[in-house]
Amino acid sequence: MIKKIADNVWLIHGNQSMFMIEIYSNSILVLDNQRLVLFNCPELTDDVKQTVRSIESEYQVKMELIVVLGDWHHFHIPAWMEEFSTAHLKVCSQRNLLKQPSLEEKFKDRIEVIDYQNISVPALGDNFELVSFSGCIQPPWMLGGDENGAPRIELVALFKTAKILYITDHVFCPTEQSFSGGLMGKVPGLINCNKGGFRIGDSELAMKSAENILELDFDSIVFSHGPAEQCFLEKNDNSIPKDMLAAGYRTFFMKHAEESKL
Ligand SMILES: [Fe+2]
d(CA 40, CA 54): 19
- Angle, vertex CA 5, rays to CA 120 and CA 156, nearest 5: 25
Phi/psi at 98 (5° precision): -65, -35
Other Cβ atoms less than 10 A from the Cβ of 21: the count is 12
CA of 223 to the centre of ligand 1 (A): 10
CA of 224 to the centre of ligand 1 (A): 7
- The helix (run of H) or strand (run of E) holding residue 193 is strand 192-193
Per-residue pLDDT of the chain (262 residues), as tens digits, is 899 999 999 999 987 666 656 677 899 999 999 999 999 999 999 999 999 999 999 999 999 999 999 999 999 999 999 999 999 999 999 999 999 999 999 999 999 999 999 999 999 999 999 999 999 999 999 889 999 999 999 999 999 999 999 999 999 998 776 555 555 667 778 899 999 999 999 999 999 999 999 999 999 999 999 888 889 999 988 889 999 999 999 999 998 877 877 6
CA of 156 to the centre of ligand 1 (A): 13
Domain formed by 2-261, architecture: 4-Layer Sandwich (3.60)
Residue ranges of the domains in the chain?
Answer: 2-261
